[in-house]
Copies of this chain bind each other. A is one copy, B any other.
Amino acid sequence: MNQKFTLLFFIVFFLFVQQNLFSQTVNVNTSAELKAAITNVKAGSEIVMKNGVWKDLQIKFYGKGTKENPITLRAETAGKVSIEGVSNLSIGGSYLVVKDLHFKNGYTPSSSVIQFKISNDTIANYSRITNCVIDEFTQPNREVSDHWVEFWGRHNQLDNSTIVGKSNFGPTVRVFLKGNEHIYNYHQIINNHFGPRPRKGGPHGETLQIGDSDTSMSPSYTNVSNNYFDKCNGEVEIISNKSNFNEYRNNIFFESEGSLVLRHGNYCIIDGNVFIGNDNSDFIGGIRVINTGHWITNNYFYKIKGNEFRSALAVMNGIPKSPLNRYNQVTDVVVAYNSFIDCKSPFQFGVGANVDKKNVLPASEIRSARPERMLLANNLVYNSIADTIPVINYDDVKGVTFNNNILNSENKSNVTDKGIITKDFDVTKVSDYLFVPSKNEEDVYQGFDFETIKTDLFGRNRQEQNSIGAIRFPVKENSVLIKKELYGAKWFSETDENYKAKTIQVSSAKALQTALKSAKSGDILSLKSGIYKFNDPLVINKAITITSSDQSKKAELRFTSENPGFQMHPKGELHLENVVLKGDETQDAIVTLVENMSKGYNLFIENTEISNFKSVLMAYKASFADTISIDNSSIKDCLSGIHLNTEVDSKGDYNAEFVHITNSTFDNVQSTVLNYYRGGYDESTIGGNLVLKNNTFTNSGGADESGLLIQNFGIVNVDFSDNTFKDNPVKEIAILWGEKGQKPVNNTIINSGEIKIQQNLVQKLMY
C-alpha cells in the first residue's frame, strides 16, 4: 500500500512537472480566458485560440519571452480563427509571436488593427506577426484614418502574412520612429502579400510608410524584402520611404499604380526588385528618387509606361534648402545595373521642375535644385519596338554622370552622352515577364564602392562574371521571375471559386426587388418590356446588370417617390443596359449612401434613357467610384446631372477615379451637367480622369451659378474631344488646365459660350 502510494505520488508529481516545465500550452475558448491566459504567460508559453469566430475582441498581448523561449499566441488551426467586428490586437514586451489569425468582417476601434505597442511605456521588441491575414478590415467611413499594422519598438517582424482590401484613409503598414525607442529598429517586413489595395481617390493610400517628415533624419534600418505588392493602387506612393538606411530587396511590384518613393530620408538600398507594368496603364510606376545617397541596383522594370512621377526612374528636382516636409535635392545617388525592358522613356530627370509656376506658387514650392553628383552606370534598356526617347529631362542634367549604359534604340532624346550607348543586342524570353540579354555585356564601369554590388538580381556572383543590366547571363534554366505562391499566408485564398453568373428573368417591380436581394454578384436581371414602378430605392451592393430582354422595346423603370431610384452601397457595381429610367423631378436617379460608404462602387450605363430626375447621380462625401461610365445614352429634362464634387476639404481627394462619358446626349439638364472636383494642391497626389468624347449637349446648364456647363476643377487627366455644344445658355463650356496638357479637340460649338484654357490653376496648398 505504501509502495503504491509512493508510485502514485511520483506519477502525479511527474505530470505536474511536465505540465509546468515542458508544456505551457493553454487553450482558450473565450475572451475572458484569453485575457486570463495572457496575464499568466511566461517565457515559453503558448496560448491557443479555439477555432471559430471571435467577435469584438481587443487583445492586449503582453509578455516577456526570450529568444529561446518566445511566447506564442496562435489559432487552433491556421486560418480557422477569425477575429471580427470591432476588434484589434496590440502587443507589448519581448519575443512574442502571433500567428495564424484572420481579421475580417470588421474594423479597428483604434488607430490600428495590429500594433507593436500597448502603450508608450509598453512597447514590443523582438516580436513577430506571422501567417496572419487582414482582409477588408476597413473602416465604415472611408475618411476615418487607420493603419492595419503599426510598427513601434525595435526588431519586430511581419512575415508570411496577407493584407488585402484597405479602402479607407491611411497607409496599410506604418513604421513609427518617434522616439529613441523606435530608431535603429531593424524591423523585418518579409515574404508578405500586400494588396490588392483599391484606388482611393486622393492621398493617404500608401501600402507602406516608414517614418514621416518629422523623423526623416532618423536611422531606421527597416528591411522590406521578398514581398509581393499586388495591384496596390491606393495612391501614387506604394511605398513611402521617410527615414534613413532602409533596404528594399527582391520585392515584386505587380501592376501597382504607384511607385516606390524615396520621399524623405536618405541612404536607402533598393536592390533586386521587380516592377511589372502592362500595355494598358501609364499609372504603374517604378522608383521615384528624392534626397541623398540611395543606391538603386539590380532592379528589373518591365513595361513601365508611366510618365513624370510614374516613370520607371523618376528623379525629382528639389527645392533649394527645402523645408523638412517638401523636396530635398537629389545628391550622391547611384543607379547601377538595372534593366528596363519595354519601358517608355525610363529615365526622367528634373521631375517636378516648376520654375514656370513662380506666379502661382510661393518661392518655397519652386523645385529648381537639380540632381547633383548622381551616377547612372551599367544600366540596360531594351525595347522590342524602338523607344528613341530613353531620357526625358525637365531640367538640365549636368549634375548626372552617365557611364556605360546601353540601349538598343537610337537615342534621340535631348540628353546624349558618351555614357548612353546605342548597341545592337538581343534579349530572350526565359519565362513570363523575364527577358534576358543573349550574352553578357561585359564592358562595365567600376565606380566608387561598386565592389559592394556583389551579385545580380538572381544572387549570382558578379565578381566571377559581370554584365551590364540586372541579370547576368546565363540564367538558370527555367528561371522564373515571379512565384506568387511564395508570398503571404499560405492558407488564405483571396478569391472565391469562380461563380458562373446567372440571368434572371423579371417581369414585375416586386420581382425585380426580390431578385435584386437574392442575386449573386455578377448576375443579370433581364426585364420584360413594360413599366416598373418603384417607391423604394433599388439597393446595389454587388455586381448587378439590369437590362431589357427585348432591346427594341426597352423596359421602363419609373420612380414615383422622393426616394432615389438606385442606392449604391459599398462594392456595389451597377450595369444599366438598354433600359429607360424615368422620374418625376422629385428624386435622384442614382445616389450613394450618405455615410458608411466604406468601399468603392462602379456604375456603367449603356444604351439607356434617363429623364425627369432631380439629378442623375448624387455622390455623397467620402463615397468613391472607381469608374462611372455613360455610353450611348441620353439624359434629358433633368434638374441637374452628375454630382461628383463633395470632397471639398481641398486635401487632394475626389469622388471618382474614372469618369467616361461618351457618345451620349444631354438635353435640357437645367443646372449642373457635370461637376467633377478635386481640390488642394500637391503635385504628388495626382488623379481624376475624365473622358468626355463625342457627346452632344443642348439647352443645358443655364441655371448653374458657376456659369459653366462642365466643371472639372483640379482633375488631372482630361480628354475633351469631338463633342457638340449647341444653345447652352452658359458663359463658358469648360475651363481646361493648360499645365496638365488639357486642350479641347475637334469640338463643335454653336451658341454655347467657349472653352477656356487656364495654364495654372490657383489652388490651396494641402500642407
- Interfacial residues of chain A within 151-209, with CB under 8 A of chain B in the complex: 178-181, 183
- Interfacial residues of chain A within 256-291, with CB under 8 A of chain B in the complex: 266-267, 291
* CB atoms of A267 and B219 under 8 A apart: yes
Query: A321 to chain B: closest CB distance in Å?
Result: 4
* CB atoms of B323 and A292 under 8 A apart: no
Chain B residues with CB under 8 A of A325 = 321
A28 interfacial by beta-carbon distance below 8 Å: no
Residue on B nearest A180 in the bound complex, by CB: B332
Partner among B323, B328, B332, B449 whose Cβ is within 8 Å of the Cβ of A322: B323
Chain B residues with CB under 8 A of A213 = 321
Chain B residues with CB under 8 A of A218 = 266, 292-293, 332
- Interfacial residues of chain A within 204-224, with CB under 8 A of chain B in the complex: 213-215, 217-219
* CB atoms of A373 and B217 under 8 A apart: no
Residue on B nearest A265 in the bound complex, by CB: B217
Cα of A178 to Cα of B372 in the assembled complex, Å: 10
A334 interfacial by beta-carbon distance below 8 Å: yes
Query: A121 to chain B: closest CB distance in Å?
Result: 10
A364 interfacial by beta-carbon distance below 8 Å: yes
Query: A133 to chain B: closest CB distance in Å?
Result: 34
Number of interface residues of A (CB under 8 A): 32
With contacts A325-B321, A364-B323 taken as known, whether A293 is within 8 angstroms of B331 at the C-beta atoms is no
* CB atoms of A214 and B183 under 8 A apart: no
Interface bits A323-346 vs B (CB < 8 Å: 1, else 0): 111101101101000000000000
A22 interfacial by beta-carbon distance below 8 Å: no
Interface bits A590-617 vs B (CB < 8 Å: 1, else 0): 0000000000000000000000000000
Chain B residues with CB under 8 A of A499 = none
Partner among B181, B217, B291 whose Cβ is within 8 Å of the Cβ of A292: B217
* CB atoms of B291 and A180 under 8 A apart: no
A5 interfacial by beta-carbon distance below 8 Å: no
Chain B residues with CB under 8 A of A183 = 293, 332
Query: Assuming A183-B332, A213-B321, A217-B292, what are 20 further A-B pairs, CB within 8 angstroms?
Result: A180-B293, A180-B332, A180-B334, A180-B448, A180-B449, A181-B448, A214-B331, A215-B292, A217-B217, A217-B244, A217-B266, A217-B291, A218-B332, A219-B267, A321-B326, A322-B323, A323-B323, A323-B364, A324-B328, A364-B364
Give A residues with C-beta under 8 Å from B: 178-181, 183, 213-215, 217-219, 244, 266-267, 291-293, 321-326, 328-329, 331-332, 334, 364, 373, 448-449
